[in-house]
Amino acid sequence: MQRATLDTPIFKKTLNSIPPVILPAPTPLSLMFQSLLQLLRVDSPHASLHPVYCPLPSALRPLTLFSPTDFTDPTNPLSKPNSLPPPATASSPSSKRYLWSLPFYAQFFDVNTSTVLNRCASALYPRAPFLDTLEGNPDLYGPFWIATTVVFILFITGTISQYLAYRGKEHFAYDFSLLSGAAGLVYGYTLFIPVVLWGLLRWYGASSSAAGATGEGISLVECWALYGYGNIIWIPVALISWSPITVLNWVFVGVGLVVSAGFLVRNLWPVVSVVERRTSRGIVVAVVLAHVGLALAIKMLFFA
């Protein structure tokens, strides 16, 4: 039996009998398929057993965004190394914080919980100067919530103290003026006394708006942070001063006065001591007297 090869008439006749495929519309794929059929015809002058290179049609070539000449053409802006815009920096006008903009105030509340707790612990158990623990980044988040906590605790414990004093005598009615009184006392003291202190220090040359706690000055925000965190001692004092025993309440308020006043004097003295001795002592005495007034107001208004 004769073996069928490419040169046998039967194989040639079979290949020649294959009709060409006609597609409805010429497409790159149909053109490639027709070219492949033409190459497989034995009687075609292009028939060969060697590999045939068929370039892809332009429609099937991979899409490129840039050609190599785009970066060497001097008329193309992409070939210029400095054609990209400069990156935005902190000195750009859009990064400035103005007094009337929200980012200016948001920077003083950009603090995490661990930092606030660490500063509260430093105010209760001072192991280093408090202004050093601020590390040049004072916040108002902690002082605000400490003052708010003191206000509500004073209102609650003051109400309990009044209830115990009037129990069995007459009908007890809640006095919500204690809440407004506590808010005015604590917020007013924490807000305005540091402003007055900072103004005195600046007047006598012991403070600068750009100076930090390095013995050369103290900023206004640092004064607010110092007084705000110094109020934390009044939280435990207010929690235990609602008893009907007057002497015991005086003792608790006195302890709070000594601790908080000592905290303020210890951290303000390095700043105040740079001015004349008589002036520095007068400022310290004024700070202590203002704090004594706060303690007396707390005792008389809420735990009398």
Q: What is the pLDDT of residues 252-271, one digit of tens each?
A: 999 999 999 999 999 999 88
Any domain includes 214: yes
Residues 290 and 167 in one domain: yes
Any domain includes 282: yes
Query: Residue 231's CB: how many other CB atoms inside 10 A?
Result: 22
Residues 45 and 148 in one domain: no
Q: Give the CA distances from residue 195 to residues 226, 265, 289, in Å, rounded to whole numbers and listed in that order.
A: 12, 16, 16
Residues 194 and 48 in one domain: no
**In the prediction, which pLDDT does 94 show?**
45
Residues 219 and 212 sit within 8 Å (Cβ to Cβ): yes
Residues 171 and 197 sit within 8 Å (Cβ to Cβ): no
DSSP letter assigned to residue 186: H
**In the prediction, which pLDDT does 41 show?**
54
Any domain includes 142: yes
**In the prediction, which pLDDT does 7 show?**
61
Residues 38 and 168 in one domain: no
Domain end residue (candidates: 61, 81, 98)? 61
Residues 128 and 233 in one domain: yes
Any domain includes 78: no
**In the prediction, which pLDDT does 144 show?**
95
Residues 33 and 162 in one domain: no
Residues 295 and 206 in one domain: yes
Residues 134 and 208 in one domain: yes
**In the prediction, which pLDDT does 31 show?**
65
**In the prediction, which pLDDT does 148 show?**
96
Domain count, the chain: 2
Residues 148 and 265 in one domain: yes
**In the prediction, which pLDDT does 33 show?**
62
Residues 97 and 107 sit within 8 Å (Cβ to Cβ): yes
Any domain includes 54: yes
Any domain includes 108: no
Residue type at 133 in one-letter notation: T
Q: What is the largest CA-CA distance in the chain?
A: 132
Q: Give the CA distances from residue 147 to residues 19, 36, 186, 211, 230, in Å, rounded to whole numbers and listed in that order.
A: 95, 87, 6, 26, 10
Residues 38 and 161 in one domain: no
Any domain includes 246: yes
Whole-angstrom distance, CA of residue 251 vs CA of residue 253: 6
Q: What is the pTM of this model?
A: 0.64
Residues 264 and 230 sit within 8 Å (Cβ to Cβ): yes
**In the prediction, which pLDDT does 226 show?**
95
Any domain includes 74: no
| Blockwise average pLDDT, block size 10, the chain, 304 residues | 58 64 58 62 48 48 49 54 48 54 76 91 89 88 95 92 75 82 94 93 68 59 94 93 85 94 93 88 94 94 84
Residues 184 and 48 in one domain: no
Domain range spanning residue 32? 9-61
**In the prediction, which pLDDT does 72 show?**
56
Residues 167 and 20 in one domain: no
**In the prediction, which pLDDT does 232 show?**
95
